[in-house]
Structures are given as structure tokens and as C-alpha cells.
């Protein structure tokens, strides 16, 4: 890493992909939680919203709750966050239950002073003082694996967050990468991509495996594990 890159990295306090998620004690609608220890051995999805009692955020929270069983089937926990107070969160989720018949059952962090949002880079100067729509996927070892940002006026796509979670788990479990639009890539369907060999011996072995039809190889560097 160059001196400039190292200097830029050190100047940024927000965690990046591949970093350990920072240790935080947070107040939530489910009481005090310690992150990431609360979900040790499991994935968790932390997502922030600009504010309670706002239209787009309300649709997002109902969408997350309605898909919560799919996240739980992937051993993933949902955690919301905004810079509102716990009482505001509780009143808002009460309204959602009464008016939309959706019971929000995941914890929501009350980050009234913005400490958590600032630590995680959820406050963007150009977007005002509210938290932008951030998504963090954290793995069972507490490592940050994915970060997504959405502007205030656009609600998140829950399918894409679930797809990303499944893709990361597949990549980990099978030591592969996944193509664009996986598992519904127009050319390759749900096939996975093998990492390219790093030396000549590896190239020869890969080509031999392709001849024996162990893999579908279009070239030594582009092989699919079907």
C-alpha cells in the first residue's frame, strides 16, 4: 500500500469492506445490545433510515419485516437504526402495527446523538443531518462484507440484499465467485466462477480438468463450476 493510500485509509474512521465491525454498545427497542458480539456466529444486516414517521422508511421497514423469515433462514439478523429516540421508534412501530398490520419484530437502534451513525459513515454532509439509507452485511466472524448506500428518495430493494447475502454465503462455502445477476445470469444461470490460476502449473491443471469435463472453461481464466 502506498504512503498516500495508507494516509487516506488512516484519515477515515469509518469501517470498510473486510474490516472488523467496530465494537459498539447501542440502545434499541429491544434493550441494550453489544455489536457485533450480540450476533457472534451469525450474520447480521444493519440498515439505517433517515427518520421515523417518513413514507419511504415506513415502506422499507414493512418490507424488511415481511421478509424477515428469509433472512433468518440464512442465519441473518435484522437491525435498524436512525438518529431518533427509542420512544419515537416505539411509537412509529406501534403506528405501523395498527395502520398497516405489520408487527416490526427486529430491534431498532436509537442513535439520538449520531455516535453510531458517525462511526459507520452513515452521515453524508450533502444529504443533511439525517442518516442516509445504508446497509451493512456483517458475517459470523464480525467482518464487514458489504456496504450499500441509497439516497433518501429511493427505497431499498430487499431482493438485492437477500441475493447479496446468499451470494456471499455461497462464495464462502464453495470458495467461488458469482457472476452478475446470479443466480439468474442470462448466459450462465446459477453457475459459479472459479478463481483464475495464479501460475503456469495451475493453468495446466485447470485446462486438464476442463478436458475431463470437470469444469466448463471458456479459457483458463474463465471457468464455471456447475
| Cα distance between residue 212 and residue 152, in whole Å | 52
Active site annotation includes 223: no
Q: pTM value? A: 0.89
- Domain 175-226 architecture: 2-Layer Sandwich (3.30)
Q: Same topology for domains 3-157 and 175-226, yes or no?
A: no
Beta-strand runs (E) in 112-184:
133-138, 144-150
Q: Which among 24, 45, 57, 123 is annotated as catalytic? A: 57
pLDDT classification of 124: cutoffs 50, 70, 90: confident
pLDDT grade for 91, boundaries at 50, 70 and 90: very high
What is residue 11's predicted lDDT score, i.e. its pLDDT? 40
Concatenating the DSSP letter of every residue in 61-116 gives HHHHHHTHHHHHHTTEEEEEEESS-HHHHHHHHHHHHHHH-----S-EEE-TT-HH
Least confident of 49-63, 124-138, 187-201, 207-221: 124-138
- The domain locations on the chain are 3-157, 175-226
pLDDT of 171 above 80? yes
Domain 3-157: top CATH class = alpha beta
Please report, rounded to a whole number, the percentage of residues in the chain having pLDDT higher than 70: 92
Q: Please report the sign of the dihedral spanned by the C-alpha atoms of residue 56, residue 61, residue 62, residue 66.
A: positive
Mean pLDDT of 45-73: 96
Would you place residue 86 in the very low, low, confident or very high pLDDT band (cuts 50, 70, 90)? very high
The answer, yes or no, to whether residue 4 has pLDDT greater than 80, is no
Amino acid at each position: 500500500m502506498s504512503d498516500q493510500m495508507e494516509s487516506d485509509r488512516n484519515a477515515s474512521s469509518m469501517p470498510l469492506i473486510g474490516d472488523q465491525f467496530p465494537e459498539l454498545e447501542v440502545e434499541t427497542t429491544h434493550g441494550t445490545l453489544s455489536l457485533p458480539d450480540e450476533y457472534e456466529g451469525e450474520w447480521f444486516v444493519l440498515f439505517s433510515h433517515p427518520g421515523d414517521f417518513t413514507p419511504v422508511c415506513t415502506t422499507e421497514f414493512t418490507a424488511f419485516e415481511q421478509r424477515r423469515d428469509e433472512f433468518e433462514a440464512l442465519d441473518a439478523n435484522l437491525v435498524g437504526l436512525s438518529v431518533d429516540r427509542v420512544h419515537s421508534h416505539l411509537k412509529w412501530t406501534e403506528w405501523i402495527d395498527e395502520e398497516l398490520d405489520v408487527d416490526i419484530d427486529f430491534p431498532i437502534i436509537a442513535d439520538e446523538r449520531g455516535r453510531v451513525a458517525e462511526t459507520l459513515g452513515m452521515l453524508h454532509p450533502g444529504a443533511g443531518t439525517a442518516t442516509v439509507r445504508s446497509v451493512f452485511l456483517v458475517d459470523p466472524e464480525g467482518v464487514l462484507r458489504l456496504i450499500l448506500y441509497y439516497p433518501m428518495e429511493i427505497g431499498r430493494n430487499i431482493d438485492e440484499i437477500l441475493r447479496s447475502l446468499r451470494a456471499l454465503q455461497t462464495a464462502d462455502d464453495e470458495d467461488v465467485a458469482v457472476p452478475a445477476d446470479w443466480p439468474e445470469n442470462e448466459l450462465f444461470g446459477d453457475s459459479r466462477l472459479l478463481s483464475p490460476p495464479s501460475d503456469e502449473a495451475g493453468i495446466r491443471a485447470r485446462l486438464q480438468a476442463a478436458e475431463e469435463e470437470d469444469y466448463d472453461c471458456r479459457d483458463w481464466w474463465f471457468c464455471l463450476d456447475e
